Amino acid sequence: MFPLSPMPKRLEENQNTGAFKDLRKQYKGTFAALESSDPLATALSFAALLLNENLQSSTYRIETLVNLALAFGRGKTRLKQKDFRRLYGDMEKGIVARQEDPAEDVFVSNISTMRGNFLVLEGLSEGAGYFLQVFMQMVDSFPKNESYDVIRDPVYALLTLSDEACKRAGLSRNQLGNEMPQAKLTPQDAERISDLRKCLTFSSADLDDLGIKLDDLGEFGFNPSARAKLLKQSLLHNDLERCPVCNKGGNTFLMLPTAVSGSIRRLVFEMVVKAYGLDTFLKALAHEYSKRLKLIPFLGEFGRVQLEFKPAGDTLMASVFRWVDDGRALHILFFMDNLRGFEKTGFGGWDKNQPSTSAAILDHIKLAKAKAEKGDDFKSGIILVVGCGVGRGIMHDVSVLEHEDWDVDFLSVHDFEALSNKNSFAPISLWRLKDAERQVSEAGIKLLNINGLLNLIAWREQLGGHLVPHNQVPDALGDGGACLIMVDQNALRTLRHQTKQEADVHSACKLDGSWTLVRRTSSSLSEEDKSISLYADMLSNESLPALLFEDRGTEWWTQVSGVEGSPRDAIFERWRMLSTWLPRIAQAFGVLEEQHKPPNRLQINATFDGAMAGLAEQPKPFSENELRETFSVSAQTDEAVVTVKANRRFEDAFFNEDNVAEREWVRAACLGVSQLAAEPLPTEQFEDLINSIVPNNRVRQTHAFPAVSFRDFVHHKLPRKPVFINDADTGTLKLFLGWKVRDRKLGATVQGKAECTAYLRQLVEFLENKLINFLRKFEKKSILQRLITNHEAAMCDQETWKRTAAAVSALHEDKGRALEEILKHQSKLNAVFQSSRVLVEVANCVCGLDDGDAFGEFDLAKSMAMMIEIIEFGGWSDAIHYGAMEPALMVAALGDVLANHDFFQEVVVPFGQAGMTSRVERSIQGYGDHFSAPKEKISEPEKKFAAEKEQFSKAWECELGFPIEAHGAFVVACEEVGLAEEKACFVVRKSELTRKVLDLRPELEPHLNKIFHELSLLPRSDWRVAPEGFTDLDRQPWKFRRLLSVLRRPLIQLDDAEDPEIYLWPGMVGDGGKYTFTRYWDAEFREIQIRTKEMLRWNGATKDKTSFNDQVAGRLRELGWTAKSDVGLTQILGRSQDETLGNIKKLGDVDVLAWDEQSRRVIAIECKDLMYRQTPGEIAEQLSSFRGELDAKGKPDLLLKHLNRASALRASLDELRKFTKISDPTLEDYLVFSGQVPMGYAKEGIRSKANMLLFDEIGTLALNT
């Protein structure tokens, strides 16, 4: 048997303890003290502790003490603080304390109704707030007549009492309490009893002020004459739990504030069942669940789902079937607790005997299995059985769990809703969890998780994607031993709280006085955006819900609409626009003087009469006055409603570098809002108001750019968002990974450069084999389609971020945090780019055509995780080889490979972030470029190419076999073919592609065969073996500048047929064209990768260029220095041999020598225009050239050469004086780099041995004038 729905903690043990009177043997002193006390006063004092958030996890003992005090009290003694502390502490010694567990939910829940919001305490029963919410939906749906008022009025009276008690105690919705039970009552908590008692005490005047009639509380009134009956009852099902209100001496007392939810649920159940029968009640409750579940984001991705509960067995059931991924089916079965026996045990028990329900569940599962397994593509299925009821526990036959290729899990409905409200959750995450569970189990680890699926999901999230905390695994596990790990039973507490905070569902009153439900709208990455209290109407009948901004009494509504026939997508963009501006406008008005403030509650109706023009057309700009004429504004002062209408021409204003469109809409809205104030703002102050809302011309939400690139025209054919590498996939992959290639008998430590690099090579080889075996299962076209479209979706996402970076930054007060969010997102995209491109290369070699499984999202994420691990370990090996990373590795018990990451944390990460930051800042500065026509943009490489076209073109043609102009024409032709197909990628025969290209560019005919030869990525029998003419450097995934990459060879040839199929990827053909041109132009390919002497000469000429030296000398002259570039040391010293220095010619030239006669300063500068390094291996390799040491061949590295030259000059100051004509010169030496380099980040790098500057920092050498 297994538990299905939520149950009170240790309920079985509680039932075995019997009634309250059975506790007397263990707590004789407690019973004696209580018998002599005043029952009401003592019980109320203990009840007051239930309002103390510090004692949430001790609710069990406190409720026990309340019941015992009320049942046993016979005297008039008023207990003192010390007595309460003693009695509270006495409970620690017996069975009561053993019922206490860490808190698993919030302390205070919010109940949203059509009369407003009410606070209730969660108490002992899990989901108390949630199930009460469902019951209140039912109560609110009752017909408005006296027959139902007998239920409705008492329910709202008790809710109001609870809400007032919580507010008096200073509690708020979704508030957490203390996570752990408290063994003792602290003096501070005891001191609060007196004040908290007052929170539970209500005079007749108080009730009048709250609108409560005493008679309405009668249904919940506790009969003091029957208090002895409590002795025969137990916690969670007793008279006080059903009737928690007492009345004495004209005062009303809420004796058990934690019982409010249970009291109301029991009352509604009893009265409806009595009047209409159990079956009717069950149908009504099922209908409420159907309504409620329709309002939530069904598991985050399904959209709104309409459930229809139908009879099944002895209850009602509803189900949803979805293909979550290729071959992966998810069946969600909702069933109602049939509530048999509920009237006897209430929330204090659960029904263990529902065979008919169990059989119906099994029938549903069999039908879902049959439906899913019909298709040939079926891989696996997951079934979620969701129990819907009143909040008691249910049990069914364990055979429900046993199904081959299917996993069955159980959730209570309130946990299902929590999972659905989790922003980061997607249904495919369930497969990740099951995959990890299987691997953990196969490794001999048993996870003991007593709190179900949600708890396991929360636990894994807390562990950063792992299922097992590594510090709890014994080293002996790998020797065949087993391990039992207890999952934190309240891991779900954080997740439940998080989802409640993220959604923050509550009631809101509209301007017409009616109430609705609202939920938070923000799904932004920014913490700043998440803090904004902006909500959407959940019950709206409009195509787009009304928006509500709440802030300290301010309630501003807005409704966005379009004229009939307006595309919903276009109006949705305006809705998003108002989501940005409504809070900013409201906050700006909120700080004005009282006479200029509008009412706290108002509504802005925004109507847009047009849809944005197609991105291919760019309307002509028009003046500010013309733009203002596109608006009409009206204000209804009595109703506090402002209406702003924008006509069709308004949409054209978005095609503007400056934010004129949204600024003018804001102005129009503010103009209307200011008319609602007692006094409109003076003109000058009004302009200041607008400037505070829209502080600059970059602040905007909507962007309309002309379509300029291939991807701009096909992005709508791609997935809406890319699949990223998931921490959970990485965590699962790492389980026991380190021990796959190492015998545990050798120990956990790998020490030494040779040993570490050899171990890492083995690890990479193991992962490559694992990846190849995994990918072989899939059909080649399926896997390439998924990989390429995901890459293209990520590219479009990156372009969006680049184009909007200026606005993202401008919209946030915390610019640094905004930049961090952009960089974090870019890092995730980079991982997608790198892994996806290499996976295309692998798949083209190892996957079969027209044979294999479909490649799904889950498979994509797993394969990307494997590839990133291969790249990471390969990078480690290179870093250790070049001496940048400590040659010491440790294999953890669970297989994690641990290393000293100082090199990454101090050099790789900050250097990479500096590069990304620079690119983001360029994107911000270049925002206006996106509004320029493509022909107006001329890149720097194009400018340089024009100057040196002849020499480079000759080298290019000799190396590749076709003119560079033909390459450009071919790229354009492929993009035009793609545009004609309206696809981001597709399969085409080589002959067909040849025909289409020649139809577009007939001049390519003599070159096309060579172009195909050079740009085609051919399938190989073994991806791990580089073909003839290439080296392993061209294949290794962690290397850049590879000749076997899809960037260098973007035409993916699928087979070796005479007329092979080609996967045409126009976006990559374009990217590859730029990549190939730049790598050859900048001489970035290694000499071993160059085939012709002409390209080798170009490489040598490029690397020997002195243009950067001249650039540095010129900048110094601008600063007032006398400067010369490329000055031979023999020229300065006047000799070529020296007794001490030896052969001076071997010391080389001074790249730039600068001096100033007035200050007597002389600067010797070594100029380095280095290639930007991107991988850890490349960075380590570059660092190895700047250590100031002799290299492996015994020759000075680049830094030591510079230091030797500087040393020679310092030893020859007389010669330096003659050369510069400065008496008594002072010599300084610098290395100047053209751009960011990793050497500036290394702790033991250049800065500890020499002065280093970037070219942009040369201004620091300015002379004092």
**What average pLDDT does the chain have?**
88
As a whole number, mean pLDDT of residues 675-700 equals 90
Q: Lowest mean pLDDT: which of 191-200, 942-951, 994-1003, 1058-1067?
A: 942-951
Shared-domain flag, residues 820 and 915: yes
Residue 1032 falls within a domain, yes or no? yes
Give the pLDDT confidence score for residue 945 in this predicted structure: 61
How far, in Å, CA of 493 to CA of 101, rounded?
12
Token digits of residue 500: 């409640």
CATH of the domain at 1235: 3.40.1350
Give the pLDDT confidence score for residue 1 in this predicted structure: 26
As a whole number, mean pLDDT of residues 1081-1104 equals 86
State whether residue 692 is helix, strand or coil. Answer: helix
What residues make up the domain containing 1139? Answer: 1106-1261
How far, in Å, CA of 1128 to CA of 1135, rounded?
10
Give the pLDDT confidence score for residue 920 in this predicted structure: 67
514-561 pLDDT per residue, tens: 999 999 986 554 566 667 889 999 998 888 899 999 998 899 999 999
Residue 555 falls within a domain, yes or no? yes
Burial code of 1198-1215, b = ≥16 C-beta within 10 A, e = fewer? bbbbbbbbbebbeebeeb
716-764 pLDDT per residue, tens: 889 989 999 988 899 889 888 999 999 989 999 999 999 999 999 999 9
448-460 pLDDT per residue, tens: 998 899 999 999 9
Shared-domain flag, residues 317 and 191: no
How far, in Å, CA of 1179 to CA of 189, rounded?
59
Domain boundary among 693, 720, 753: 693
Q: Which residues pair with 605 in a beta bridge?
A: 559, 643
Residue 1055 falls within a domain, yes or no? yes
Give the pLDDT confidence score for residue 767 in this predicted structure: 97
User: 1062 vs 17, which has greater pLDDT?
Assistant: 1062
CA distances from 355 to 11, 394, 673, 825, 1184 (A): 22, 11, 63, 51, 73
> Is it the case that residue 986 has pLDDT exceeding 90?
yes
Residue 575 falls within a domain, yes or no? yes
- Look at residues 528, 502, 501, 503 and name the one whose alpha carbon lies nearest to residue 584: 528
Burial of 401: CB neighbours in 10 Å, binned 0-12, 13-18, 19+? middle
Domain boundary among 693, 719, 742: 693
Question: In which band, very low, low, confident or very high, does the pLDDT at 685 lie, cut at 50, 70 and 90?
Answer: very high
Give the pLDDT confidence score for residue 516 in this predicted structure: 96
> Is it the case that residue 8 has pLDDT exceeding 50?
no
Token digits of residue 142: 């009752």
Burial code of 587-616, b = ≥16 C-beta within 10 A, e = fewer? bbbeeeeeebbbeeebbbbbbbebbbeeee
Token digits of residue 1213: 């100051």
Shared-domain flag, residues 946 and 1057: yes
Shared-domain flag, residues 782 and 856: yes
Q: Which residues pair with 448 in a beta bridge?
A: 486
Close Cβ partners of 115 (under 8 Å, ≥ 6 residues apart): 140, 156, 507, 515
Give the pLDDT confidence score for residue 876 in this predicted structure: 94
Domain boundary among 1101, 1125, 1142: 1101
686 CA to centre of own chain: 39
Count of structural domains, the chain: 6
Residue 204 host element (H or E): helix 204-210
Give the pLDDT confidence score for residue 12 in this predicted structure: 40
CA distances from 607 to 571, 578, 1263 (A): 9, 11, 61
Residue 843 falls within a domain, yes or no? yes
- pLDDT above 70 covers a percentage of the chain that reads 90
The HSE-up count of residue 1100 (CA atoms within 13 Å, CB side) is: 6
Shared-domain flag, residues 1058 and 1133: no
Shared-domain flag, residues 102 and 211: yes
Give the pLDDT confidence score for residue 809 in this predicted structure: 67
Residue 434 falls within a domain, yes or no? no
Close Cβ partners of 970 (under 8 Å, ≥ 6 residues apart): 997, 1001, 1004, 1007, 1008, 1011, 1015, 1069
What 241-248 contacts at long range (C-beta under 8 Å, 24+ apart), as own/partner pairs, is 241/266, 241/346, 241/347, 242/266, 242/267, 242/346, 243/219, 244/220, 245/158, 245/161, 245/217, 245/220, 245/221, 246/40, 246/221, 246/222, 247/214, 247/217, 247/221, 248/40, 248/224
555-593 pLDDT per residue, tens: 999 999 987 777 777 888 889 889 989 999 999 999 999
Give the pLDDT confidence score for residue 122 in this predicted structure: 96
DSSP state of 614: P
645-655 pLDDT per residue, tens: 998 888 888 87
Shared-domain flag, residues 743 and 643: no
Q: Lowest mean pLDDT: which of 104-118, 222-236, 476-490?
A: 476-490
Shared-domain flag, residues 1031 and 1066: yes
Question: In which band, very low, low, confident or very high, does the pLDDT at 405 lie, cut at 50, 70 and 90?
Answer: confident
Shared-domain flag, residues 909 and 1050: no
237-284 pLDDT per residue, tens: 899 999 999 999 999 999 999 999 999 999 999 999 999 999 999 999
Close Cβ partners of 511 (under 8 Å, ≥ 6 residues apart): 557, 601, 602, 603, 639, 640, 641
Residue 455 falls within a domain, yes or no? no
As a whole number, mean pLDDT of residues 342-351 equals 78
User: 1136 vs 762, which has greater pLDDT?
Assistant: 762
How far, in Å, CA of 235 to CA of 220, rounded?
17
Question: In which band, very low, low, confident or very high, does the pLDDT at 471 lie, cut at 50, 70 and 90?
Answer: low
DSSP state of 749: E
Shared-domain flag, residues 25 and 172: yes
How far, in Å, CA of 832 to CA of 1044, rounded?
19
Q: Which residues pair with 646 in a beta bridge?
A: 608, 631
- Look at residues 513, 435, 512 and name the one whose alpha carbon lies nearest to residue 467: 435
Shared-domain flag, residues 182 and 222: yes
Give the pLDDT confidence score for residue 703 in this predicted structure: 66
Give the pLDDT confidence score for residue 423 in this predicted structure: 81
Give the pLDDT confidence score for residue 998 in this predicted structure: 96
55-104 pLDDT per residue, tens: 999 999 999 999 999 998 888 889 999 999 999 999 998 899 988 999 99
> Is it the case that residue 930 has pLDDT exceeding 70?
no
pTM tops 0.85, yes or no: yes
Question: In which band, very low, low, confident or very high, does the pLDDT at 13 lie, cut at 50, 70 and 90?
Answer: very low
Residue 592 falls within a domain, yes or no? yes
Close Cβ partners of 642 (under 8 Å, ≥ 6 residues apart): 602, 603, 604, 605, 633, 634, 635, 636, 669, 672, 673, 675, 676
> Is it the case that residue 971 has pLDDT exceeding 70?
yes
771-807 pLDDT per residue, tens: 999 999 999 999 999 999 999 999 988 887 777 666 6
Check if the beta carbon of residue 30 is closer than 8 Å to that of residue 68: yes
Residue 822 host element (H or E): helix 815-846
Give the pLDDT confidence score for residue 5 in this predicted structure: 37
Shared-domain flag, residues 924 and 857: yes
